[in-house]
Amino acid sequence: MSETITPRRFASKLSPDIPKHWLPGNEVVSSILNAYTILVPANEGFYVRTLKACMPRIRNGQLRERCRKFIHQEAQHGVAHTRYWDNLDAQGYRFRAFEKNVDRLVFRVMEKFGPIGLRVSLVSCVEHINAYIGHEFLSQQILARADPRVKDLMEWHFAEEIEHRRVAFDLLQAVAPNYALRALGFALTAGLFYSLMCFQAVNLLAQDGILWRKETWRQIEAHMGSRHHMFRRTLRHLLDYLQPGFHPSQTGNDALAEEVLTRLASTTPPVVAPTRQSQPRTWDQVA
Ligand SMILES: [Fe+2]
Ligand SMILES: [Fe+2]
């Protein structure tokens, strides 16, 4: 299995003058990815805690090392997206109560009552979703005209999701190799992920007072159908995950991810940089 996961951090500033609708002419995609940003830190905190809880069960040293680097990357995603919340606050969006409630009522409840195998199954499925969203946004260059600061943040995250897309699935095979559990994790995750993200994106558009504008619905149709084909492509990616012989290495594009990460690391100053402490001694030092 060839896979290189590099711990990095997002080193760029997210200045307060970033426009509210940072993808010109597409308030719908700006709002969908703002909703994604709002959900990322709690979501990724859940991955990190789940993988940390699994560590004592992982016998394979290589898988342990991949999990360690996965945790490092996810923790950095959470840090960077939380920094961007200051911009959302400054733009006047109300989202903090929603975010707190999702963390409390979804992730903390699942953590308290869900068996570890099911929790890993949820992480495995959402990691597949993260990887194909990343693949679609990067390969279709959907953010080509976006404000460069938000574009860098999103594209760094998308590329790392592609880079580490195999880890959670391989962990699920190691701790709970059970198709029924994978299917249950899929049903819960796909339902929750899309309900929460659509709810929050609609809420942001409503806060902007543009939800019922004709142009907004034209943009939704273009993103889901005629232009980005996200409805059809999402359905195909979701069904792929349910194939008994599925493995994340069958999807995504490592060369594309590497190209993006190399570009972001080679700017002056670099947009992403290797983390100073690339070899943490305990799991607590990473999350
Ligand atoms: Fe992530
Ligand atoms: Fe991830």
Task: Please say if the pLDDT value at position 278 is more than 50.
Answer: no
Task: Please say if the pLDDT value at position 284 is more than 90.
Answer: no
130 CA to middle of ligand 2, Å?
A: 6
157 CA to middle of ligand 1, Å?
A: 6
Cβ(48)–Cβ(262) under 8 Å? Answer: no
Q: Tell me the domain boundaries of the chain.
A: 29-273
Which of 263, 281, 265 is CA-nearest to residue 273?
A: 265
93 CA to middle of ligand 1, Å?
A: 23
The mean per-residue pLDDT over the stretch 189-201 comes to 98
pLDDT tens digits, one per residue of 115-133: 999 999 999 999 999 999 9
215 CA to middle of ligand 1, Å?
A: 31
**Residue 239: predicted pLDDT:** 98
Burial class (CB in 10 A: 0-12, 13-18, 19+), 211: middle
Ligand nearest to the CA of 70: 2
For 61, what's the count of Cα atoms within 13 Å in the CB-facing half-sphere?
Answer: 0
The mean per-residue pLDDT over the stretch 181-191 comes to 98
126 CA to middle of ligand 1, Å?
A: 10
Ligand nearest to the CA of 161: 2
pTM for the full predicted model: 0.94
209 CA to middle of ligand 2, Å?
A: 33
The mean per-residue pLDDT over the stretch 258-266 comes to 97
Task: Please say if the pLDDT value at position 212 is more than 50.
Answer: yes
Q: Which tokens go with 278?
A: 């690339």
Determine the 3-state secondary structure of 224 from DSSP: helix
Ligand nearest to the CA of 44: 1
How many CB atoms are closer than 10 A to CB 56? 7
Percent of the chain with pLDDT over 90: 92
86 CA to middle of ligand 2, Å?
A: 23
The mean per-residue pLDDT over the stretch 34-39 comes to 98
